[in-house]
């Protein structure tokens, strides 16, 4: 067995052992104890030396190969991937808010880029000035700029861009620009874009769930009109069009208020997490049955919603991130409307 690999396994830790192997190798590379291009033990060797099952080591190596940390050479074994540092792409990743789903996009993107890129994340909290200053300070310092254009105006309404925003974006070379999540503003030239069509997406997703929605008597969208991190008003347009086209009784609320006048056969579409939590609490307090008396559809998938059995309409964050990574690595300039899903669960 190679002497370059020292795996630290803590038997008392709740961290899965395969993850401990992955972390040990990454820490060894960062510390310089494991060199690029050097051979590491085979799965059997590491399994025997660390008293671990072969499946555990194989799972760790599979994860490392997926992240392009190691590579296998047929007939020779496993090696730490040879990465030419001059070929690593430095990526400026600018997001509008640190929400669960925006961080999912970032994490999936970093995983998909692997060792071929160095990603630095910046957050501007939907503030136009912070956005402009972040770009000004970093223009010319990166090989690629991945940006999500979502802003709030002086009335705390959502806007996709202003002339000042367009002016600063125009300074980014188009072969280094990728617009993510929101539809493109009026930027000249050819560049990459992976976006949501907020109006069309919500309409089609709700249409997919129409038969279940029809068992309820009133459809209520909880759209936060004033928010530090506002949502595109195109969501409301798509919702209203859906309700009109299918002749559904509907209402739009700013939030889930305390002591809501919940009626049997109401169905709610929530956008913000706190509204979802407040609604579920009130449903339980009133001894109503979720999915029968009251229905819930939530906007944007999160692991917690999956765990709680909440039906969602959501863009595919993994697909968006992986498509973005592919376009950066291949320097593509495509315009892609990202996949949007209706995922039915117990709350409907």
Residue 253 · residue 222 · CB < 8 Å: yes
Query: What's the mean per-residue pLDDT of the chain?
Result: 91
For residue 298, give the 3-state DSSP assignment. strand
CA atoms within 13 A on the CB side of 180: 29
pLDDT, residue 3, reads: 47
pLDDT tens digits, 162-183: 899 999 999 999 999 999 998 7
pLDDT, residue 121, reads: 95
Number of DSSP helices (H) and strands (E) in the chain, helices first: 12, 17
Q: What is the pTM of this model?
A: 0.76
pLDDT, residue 281, reads: 96
Rounded Cα distance between 31 and 41, Å, is 19
Q: Using pLDDT thresholds of 50, 70 and 90, give the confidence band for residue 157.
A: confident
Q: Using pLDDT thresholds of 50, 70 and 90, give the confidence band for residue 340.
A: very high
CATH superfamily of 89-196+317-338: Response regulator (3.40.50.2300)
Residue 4 has pLDDT above 70, yes or no: no
Question: Which residues share a beta bridge with 193?
Answer: 179, 335
Residue 255 · residue 222 · CB < 8 Å: yes
Question: Which residues share a beta bridge with 192?
Answer: 178
Closest-CA residue to 110 (of 332, 333, 317, 334): 317
Mean pLDDT of 332-341: 93
CA atoms within 13 A on the CB side of 334: 15
Rounded Cα distance between 195 and 184, Å, is 8
CATH assignment, 17-80: 1.10.10.10
pLDDT, residue 1, reads: 40
- 275-to-150, 213, 284 alpha-carbon distances in Å: 21, 20, 14
Query: How many CB atoms neighbour CB 309 within 10 A?
Result: 13
254 CB-near residues (< 8 Å, 6+ apart): 222, 223, 224, 225, 226
Residue 18 has pLDDT above 80, yes or no: yes
* Least confident stretch, 43-47, 152-156, 170-174, 299-303: 152-156
- For the chain, which residues make up each domain, given as ranges? 17-80, 89-196+317-338, 199-314
Residue 88 · residue 116 · CB < 8 Å: yes
- 57-to-64, 70, 118 alpha-carbon distances in Å: 11, 13, 27
Question: Which residues share a beta bridge with 90?
Answer: 118
325 CB-near residues (< 8 Å, 6+ apart): 109, 112, 113, 117
Query: How many CB atoms neighbour CB 153 within 10 A?
Result: 12
Shared fold status for 89-196+317-338 and 199-314: yes
Q: Based on C-alpha coordinates, what's the Rg of the chain? A: 24
CATH assignment, 199-314: 3.40.50.2300
Rounded Cα distance between 91 and 121, Å, is 9
* Least confident stretch, 87-91, 107-111, 196-200, 310-314: 87-91
Rounded Cα distance between 56 and 337, Å, is 39
């Amino acid at each position: 067995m190679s002497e370059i690999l020292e795996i630290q396994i803590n038997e008392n830790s709740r961290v899965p052992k395969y993850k401990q192997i992955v972390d040990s190798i990454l820490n060894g590379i960062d510390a310089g104890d494991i060199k690029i291009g050097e051979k590491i033990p085979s799965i059997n060797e590491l399994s025997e030396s660390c008293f671990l099952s072969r499946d555990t080591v194989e799972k760790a190596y599979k994860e490392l190969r997926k992240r392009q940390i190691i590579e296998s050479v047929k007939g020779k074994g496993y090696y730490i991937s040879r990465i030419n540092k001059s070929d690593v792409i430095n990526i400026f990743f600018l997001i509008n808010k640190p929400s669960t789903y925006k961080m999912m996009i970032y994490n999936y993107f970093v995983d998909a880029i692997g060792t071929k890129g160095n990603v630095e994340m910046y957050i501007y909290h939907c503030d136009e000035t912070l956005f402009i200053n972040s770009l000004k300070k970093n223009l010319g310092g990166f090989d690629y700029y991945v940006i999500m254009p979502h802003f709030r105006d002086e009335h705390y309404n959502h806007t996709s861009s202003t002339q000042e925003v367009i002016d600063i974006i125009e300074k980014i070379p188009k072969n280094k620009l990728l617009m993510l999540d929101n539809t493109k503003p009026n930027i000249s030239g050819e560049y990459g874009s992976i976006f949501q069509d907020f109006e069309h997406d919500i309409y089609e997703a709700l249409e997919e769930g129409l038969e279940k929605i029809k068992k309820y008597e009133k459809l209520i969208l909880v759209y936060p009109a004033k928010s530090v991190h506002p949502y595109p008003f195109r969501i409301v347009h798509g919702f209203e069009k859906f309700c009109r086209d299918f002749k559904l009784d509907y209402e739009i609320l700013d939030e889930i208020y305390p002591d809501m006048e919940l009626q049997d056969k109401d169905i709610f579409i929530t956008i913000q997490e706190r509204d979802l939590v407040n609604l579920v609490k009130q449903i339980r307090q009133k001894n109503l049955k979720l999915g029968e008396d009251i229905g819930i559809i939530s906007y944007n998938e999160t692991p917690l919603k999956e765990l709680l059995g909440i039906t969602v309409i959501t863009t595919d964050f993994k697909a968006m991130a992986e498509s973005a990574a592919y376009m950066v690595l291949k320097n593509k300039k495509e315009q892609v409307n990202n996949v949007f899903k209706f995922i039915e669960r117990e709350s409907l």
